[in-house]
Amino acid sequence: MKTSWKGSISFGMVYFPVNVYTATSGSSGVKLNYLHRKCNNRIRYKKVCEACNEEVSQDEIVKGYEYEKDKYVVITDEDFEKLPIKSKKVIAISHFVDEDAVDPIYLDKAYFISPGNFSASKAFELFRRAMRETGKVGIAKITLTSNEYVAMIKPYDKGGMLLYLLYYLDEIKKTEDITELNYNVDIHNNELKMAISLIENMTGEFDIAQYRNEYQDALKQLIQAKIERKEVVSPPEAQQNIVDLMEALKASVEAAKNSRTDSSGIGKGKSRGKSMEKSTSNKIRKTATEDRKAAAGENDTGELVGVNAGADTSAKAKSGKKEKTL
């Protein structure tokens, strides 16, 4: 797997290199393009300057912040580099907390972490096992591309460790803004018991493998069907062809060989010789002499080594298919 980046984990006196990999692949949905309805050609997005009305290339583009309507301050690459970010490429763990102390709502993107090199494996595994024994997870600061994040680090059951980027508090919306949540209801004990027993009846194991994106499956089938109606799907070229070719080559080689080593060995098994002749291709006929062909059918016991048991069936199939083969 391709690393997203390489860096180090640090906490207290401990410091070791790690590799970070993206753990999730995002949407597996079918990618569709926008087309012009009347001609089916692609709709393209162009970056055009509003004022100049010209298309601009990537190196002509800078970033700016709109501090007032139509007024911007430009932020250059140099400006970004001057920003005081200490945690660059270092996952600096500030403290550890109980795993369930982190509400899942804060979990953003997941990454795998592995030891950065062979000698870091021990520190890595030590740290991983200690977290597992204590049931704690590490809270750290980390920089990815051009932003600073809070992260949670925990051992992963299937090997290595997981790093979750966390949302900052101001990125989580407030439920106070949902007015319907300001309700006032009375609940009877019996009703609660009934609801609980309903839940208990429906309790099972969590198995993500049971779930498939059925909408996407149906969409893929639809697309496949549409293509197949449009594209001529040719009948598969039978593997038999290649078997015929190999058999024919083998036969002609063996024939040639036998005609050299055993010039008198002609006469028995004429009918088999004939069928082999029939099955031998035109091209091979050009190169093999009549003698070779005559010998082809007779010597398939002595020198032919280990042809599979299917030779007979392929010989049968050959006579019908010959023209196509070569």
Partner 1 sequence: MNRDMFDEKNIVPMAPVPSEPFDSDDYIYEIKFDGMRCIGYYDTDVTLRNRANKDITALFPEFRDIYKQFRHKCIIDSEIVVLNQGKPDYSRLNKRRFLSNIIQINLMSKKIPATLIVYDILYYKDRAVTEMPLIERKRLLEENTVEGGHLAISRFVRGAGTALFEQAVNQELEGIVAKKIDGIYVQGRSRLWLKSKRKQDMDLLLCGYMEGKGFLFCDNDLNYRISIRNVDKNTFDFLYKYVIEHQLDNSPLKFQPLNLKGAIWAKPELYCVVEYMQEMESGYLREAVFKGIKMD
189, 287, 301, 312: which one binds partner 1 (CB under 8 A): 287
Minimum distance from residue 153 beta carbon to partner 1 (Å): 29
158: which 2 tokens? 């299937």
Whole-angstrom Cα distance, residue 140 to residue 10? 9
- For residue 41, report the phi and psi dihedrals to the nearest 5 degrees: -95, 160
259: which 2 tokens? 């005609």
Whole-angstrom Cα distance, residue 202 to residue 135? 29
What are the start-end ranges of the H helices in 105-213? 121-134, 189-201
Question: Closest Cα partner for 295 from 232, 242, 252, 247?
Answer: 252
Minimum distance from residue 156 beta carbon to partner 1 (Å): 21
Please identify, using beta-carbon distances, which residue of 169 and 305 lies nearer to partner 1. 305
Please identify, using beta-carbon distances, which residue of 143 and 252 lies nearer to partner 1. 252
Contact 266, 295 (CB under 8 A): yes
Q: Which residues contact 288 (CB under 8 A, 6 or more apart)?
A: 252, 255, 256, 280, 296
Contacts with partner 1 by CB under 8 A: the residue count is 42
Minimum distance from residue 122 beta carbon to partner 1 (Å): 23
Give the footprint of partner 1 on residues 184-243 (CB under 8 A): 220, 223-224, 227-228, 231, 233-234, 236-237, 239, 241-243
163, 247, 279, 296: which one binds partner 1 (CB under 8 A): 247
Site string for partner 1, 295-324 (x = CB under 8 A): --------xxxxxxxx---x---------x
Site string for partner 1, 25-64 (x = CB under 8 A): -----x----------------------------------
Please identify, using beta-carbon distances, which residue of 85 and 242 lies nearer to partner 1. 242
10, β-bridge pairs:
15, 92
Question: Closest Cα partner for 128 from 142, 111, 115?
Answer: 115
Contact 142, 93 (CB under 8 A): no
- Give the Å distances, CA to CA, from 208 to 25, 30, 46, 173: 16, 21, 41, 28
Please identify, using beta-carbon distances, which residue of 93 and 243 lies nearer to partner 1. 243
Query: Does 123 sit near partner 1 (CB under 8 A)?
Result: no
**Stretch of 40-48, 88-96, 128-136, 253-261 lying at the interface with partner 1 (CB under 8 A):** 253-261
- What is the contact surface with partner 1 in residues (CB under 8 A)? 30, 220, 223-224, 227-228, 231, 233-234, 236-237, 239, 241-247, 249-250, 252-254, 256-257, 283-284, 286-287, 303-310, 314, 324-326
